[in-house]
Amino acid sequence: MYEHDKVFIDGAWVPSAGKGAIDVINPATEEVIGHIPNGTAEDVDRAARAARAAFPAWAATPKEERGKYIQRLQEGLGARMQEIGKVVSQEMGMPMTLSVMVQAGLPAMVMGSYTTILENYAFEEPLGSSLIVREPVGVVGCITPWNYPLHQIVAKVAPALAAGCTVVLKPSEVAPLNAFILAEIIEEVGLPAGVFNLVTGTGPIVGEAIAAHPEINMVSFTGSTAAGKRVSEVASQTVKRVALELGGKSPFIILDDANLADAVKAGVGNCYINSGQTCIAWTRMLVPRDKQDEIVALVKDAAEAYTPGDPFAPTTRLGPLVSKTQQDRVRSYIEKGIAEGATLVTGGPEQPEGLDKGYFVKPTVFSNVTNDMTIAREEIFGPVLSILPYDDEEDAIRIANDTIYGLHAGVYSADKARATRVAKRIDAGQVTVNDGSFNPMAPFGGFKQSGHGRELGVLGLEEFLEVKALML
């Protein structure tokens, strides 16, 4: 049982002003595994004022010193990777074999990347007769989701600290335990008091208080598009800078010259990682109409190999969804897909056989999907893949871009130059070409209603900087 009865404010673990606690539930067993404080606006006020008081000294700290702190944070994360992987598997359900690599390894990698970026980044540069100066934006409120909880925290906190900003963090109350590990590491490395503050609680209380607080200069939010609109609305009252990484309905175009077996393996794997609870999941597989039947057969075999089960069992490839609410939501979309006339290839809304407990959903595939169906337009956030046929390359690009979202996409072809040409025409912040690998130094963010702003790499650092021109 993970018991946390304090929040981290001004360098110390202190009681929350809130009286209650929030249960943390293991989605594979439906059992309570921990408790965290149900924080309040008063907690946010204390944290924001601590961050404001700490800001001048931290902003004036040489970048080399900030880099040393970040390096020590990376080392601390690296030393606790097994523990972090276990905790995240318990609180949100990713299979342990992946969790150590993704949920623990990726945050450590991203944290370390900002040591390198700081070494090479020029905060001042001449431009003709002027001097262009980049300064930290101030106090940053970070509001993060539950699906890749520590990675999303680090993707905000690391560049904010590197830029010279101070931070108030509200992690998701659904998967918050990993954030306490980070706070413990921050305390151990001796980050100055007030530079990092952790307040747990719900979005309507703690999240809104962060977005509204006059001492917070910027909000960086990752979550649903609906919640992002609310953050923007509240933050606008104090004219804060807002960075949003929101939903997606990512297309994966299999071009007619692709190796179908390789393309299907890549597409299904991307859709089902983390049980489909991934904002960049390729949930719309666009396939040549004359090859749809062949591809559907390959997809069915691939999907049925994703065995749901205990996240700590070595054979499990698909963990549970994070909560009963999420399970009900995903099942309702599957039922809607059937009702709207899509062909159910495999899966369905029923509980997987042999799993009486846990928020599991069968790996599900629909074919003969049209882009006006609900399952093709709305973000489901579960292991549900829609296969949509297209007539030619132009038709594929049209369907890919026929969405309010623009976060991610994929293109697969035997001709990399052709795939790259198509990728450039897709309205998305990132597009993977064939087996392109993840690059933690490349910027990440969305077009359209997938948000604005960029995370990771140099552009991720610059989100937290103001630009000043000195006319000399």
| Tokens of residue 175, six digits | 């998967």
- Look at the block and give the residue holding tokens 């309040």: 40
Edge-to-edge strand ranges of the sheet holding 196-198: 12-15, 6-9, 196-198, 166-170, 139-143, 218-222, 241-245, 451-452
**Residue 320 to residues 46, 93, 131: CA-CA distances in angstroms?**
37, 6, 54
In angstroms, the CA 112 to CA 472 distance is 36
Name the active-site residue from 91, 215, 245, 455: 245
- pTM score, two decimals? 0.97
Would you list the DSSP string of 281-312? Answer: ---EEEEEGGGHHHHHHHHHHHHHT--B--TT
**pLDDT per residue as tens digits for the range 395-454:** 999 999 999 999 999 999 999 999 999 999 999 999 999 989 989 999 999 999 999 999
User: What local confidence, expressed as pLDDT, does residue 435 receive?
Assistant: 87
Task: Give the 3-state DSSP-derived string for 412-443, with helices as H, strands as E and coil as C.
Answer: ECCCHHHHHHHHCCCCCCEEEECCCCCCCCCC
Distance of alpha carbon 88 from alpha carbon 67, whole angstroms: 27
| Catalytic position from the list 142, 165, 271, 279 | 279
| Tally: H helices and E strands in the chain | 16, 21
Distance CA 223, CA 181 (A): 22
Ramachandran sector of residue 390 (left: φ over 0; alpha: ψ -120 to 50; beta: rest): beta
The C-alpha atoms of residue 102 and residue 81 are separated, in whole angstroms, by 10
Write the CB contacts of 254 (distance below 8 Å, at least 6 apart in sequence).
260, 263, 264, 267, 285, 286, 287, 288, 291, 295, 412
93, two tokens: 């359900």
Domains along the chain with CATH numbers: 2-246+449-471 (3.40.605.10), 251-440 (3.40.309.10)
The pLDDT assigned to 137 comes to 98
For position 127, what pLDDT does the model report? 98
Q: At residue 410, what are phi and psi to the nearest 5 degrees?
A: -140, 150
Q: Are strands 451-452 and 124-127 parallel, antiparallel or unpaired?
A: unpaired
Q: Are 382 and 277 in contact (CB under 8 A)?
A: yes
Pick out the chain residues at pLDDT < 70.
Answer: none
Whether 279 is catalytic is: yes
Kindly give, in sequence order, each residue whose CB lies less than 8 Å from that of residue 239, ignoring residues fewer than 6 positions away. none
Residue with tokens 């604005």: 452
How crowded is residue 75: how many other Cβ atoms within 10 Å of its Cβ?
15
Q: Is there a catalytic annotation at residue 271?
A: no
**385 phi and psi angles, rounded to 5 deg:** -110, 130
